[in-house]
Structure 1
Amino acid sequence: MSLYDRNHLTSEYDASYDAPLEQGRVSKLIKETYALLTASMVAAAAGAYVAMSTGVAMGLNPLLYFILMIGLIFAMQFAVNRGANSLALVLLFAFTFITGLTLGKVLSLYIGAGMGSVVTQAFVATAVTFGALTIYAMNSKVNVDSWGKPLFISLIAVIIIGFLNYFFFKSSLVSLGISGFSALLFSFYIIYDTKNIINGVYTSPIMAAVGMYLNIYNLFMSLLNILGFANRD
């Protein structure tokens, strides 16, 4: 998920620009990003396992959870900007482990309700969607430079409506609508961030990894809610 608007590095082309050197840097960034993304998934899985085994996340307040997550993201960015990459890595895995705790809470509810197959369906759908969109982004020549602002505005709208629904409306239909829109939104974010990664817009594999992790995580949660709604009696 894009955390802020960026301008492509190639928009300020210099005649002395060393293309082979830049290609090497981008290639390294891509490899490191997806290695960290894989490690982040493992940390999230560990968090989910702990939550499902102990119930440690059952009393987590949504608003406090949201504030904690935003705080960790900003702390990560601050650490990266200061060159404290070791600290940023610790924060990355703390972030993904904690989101895994919340995921474990949700999965426990579905499995406890006899809807374990829905979890499997959502997982497969997320993996297929992510793979297809990644291949599309890597092979497409679509220009995503103008996508940042509308995607970010849409994200803020989803967050606001989501909180309003949780605390006031408490409507399952509104929740379904939010999930449907979120699934579409984070699908576009996968394309957007994949393009930014391969174009070298990200300067840190840590921030690139957390952005992509959030895209996948939110896509999965959205699909899980949609499929769960469709399979309820």
Structure 2
Amino acid sequence: MDDRRFDVRNSQGGAYAASQAGRATGISADAHRVLRNTYTLLAFTLLFSAVMAGVSMAIEMSRGVSLMCSLGALALIWLVLPRTANSSAGIGVVFAFTGLLGLSLGPILNHYLAMSNGGAVVMQALGGTAVVFLGLSGYVLTTKKDFSFMGGMLMAGLLVVVIAAVGSLVAGLFGVDVSMFSLAISAAIVLLMSGFILYDTSRIVHGGETNYILATTGLYLNIYNLFVSLLHILGAFNGDD
């Protein structure tokens, strides 16, 4: 009987300690677990994506194949990931998705690296992406502010940007100079992705997102689009885009 009492007291003490730790940090134990798994998977997928981008650059993948990789990635995220997000198969889908997007980056990176100061542009874009992501994520994790109110505005902004991008593409096919308009779209994407980083991180912290596979996918897309848009903007300001 004494041993059982001791075990019960120990378990109650552990639960109390976990509860107190959660209150101290302002993040629940479940949210801590999702955050840990999300950032771990995000780190591995970013590394894998970088390796695949290197492979794409080495074999000098064409823009046509790059486009096919991007379409394949979209098919995975829309058709396959929702069915596998709650199983271990979802991890494989996330790696396939990020690998395809990494491959699609090859021609873009080769384009910028072929410029006179292309190496500096790529490194500035990488550095800028890291600073924005770590800074905004750190801000949410430190302040525990809830940015869920931004969801509607961000989705509306994303819809506007998608429509504008399609319009820009169509206009370009008819010979219209859309370089400045395209630059404005990239700037809007940088702002939108910054907002999505705040929003997505906040959802994890406050329990709005409990699936680390879906959370990883969202954060990866934020980073990917932020990087590509910064590349475009920095390339333009360096006079090579």
What TM-score do the two structures reach when normalised by structure 2? 0.81
Taking the aligned partners of 2:99 and 2:159, their CA distance within structure 1 comes to 24
Residue of structure 2 in register with 1:132 after alignment? 135
Taking the aligned partners of 2:156 and 2:165, their CA distance within structure 1 comes to 14
Deviation at 1:134, TM superposition (A): 1.1
Is 1:109 the counterpart of 2:111? The answer is yes
Question: Aligned pair in 2 of structure 1 residues 31, 209: CA closer, same or farther (>3 Å)?
Answer: same
Deviation at 1:129, TM superposition (A): 1.2
Letter of the 2:212 partner, please give it.
P
Indicate conservation of the 8 Å contact 1:30/1:197, yes or no.
yes
Q: Equivalent residues in 2 for 1:73-88 (5 A)?
A: 73-74=77-78, 75-80=80-85, 83=86, 85-88=87-90
Q: Equivalent residues in 2 for 1:171-210 (5 A)?
A: 171-210=178-217
Indicate conservation of the 8 Å contact 2:144/2:202, yes or no.
no
Indicate conservation of the 8 Å contact 2:69/2:100, yes or no.
no
More helix by share: 2
Indicate conservation of the 8 Å contact 2:189/2:225, yes or no.
yes
Taking the aligned partners of 1:65 and 1:53, their CA distance within structure 2 comes to 16
Taking the aligned partners of 1:40 and 1:164, their CA distance within structure 2 comes to 32
Deviation at 1:194, TM superposition (A): 0.8
Structure 1: which 5+ runs fail to align?
A: 1-18
Is 1:49 the counterpart of 2:89? The answer is no
Question: Aligned pair in 2 of structure 1 residues 61, 53: CA closer, same or farther (>3 Å)?
Answer: closer
Instruction: Please tell me the root mean square deviation across aligned C-alpha atoms, in Å.
Output: 2.0
Q: Number of matched residues?
A: 211
Taking the aligned partners of 2:146 and 2:30, their CA distance within structure 1 comes to 21
Q: Which has the larger radius of gyration?
A: 2
Residue of structure 2 in register with 1:157 after alignment? 160
Deviations 1:71-117 (A, max 9, x none): 2112112212xx3x222111100110111112121110000123111
Which region of structure 1 is more displaced relative to structure 2, 184-193 or 167-176?
167-176
Which region of structure 1 is more displaced relative to structure 2, 107-116 or 22-31?
22-31
Deviation at 1:28, TM superposition (A): 1.0
Indicate the SS of the match to 1:59.
helix
Deviations 1:28-64 (A, max 9, x none): 11100000000110111111011101123532374x5
Instruction: Tell me the percent identity.
Output: 35
Indicate conservation of the 8 Å contact 1:48/1:101, yes or no.
yes
Indicate the SS of the match to 1:200.
coil
Is 1:148 the counterpart of 2:155? The answer is no
Indicate conservation of the 8 Å contact 2:61/2:106, yes or no.
no
**Given the alignment, which residue of 50, 71, 74 partners 1:70?**
74
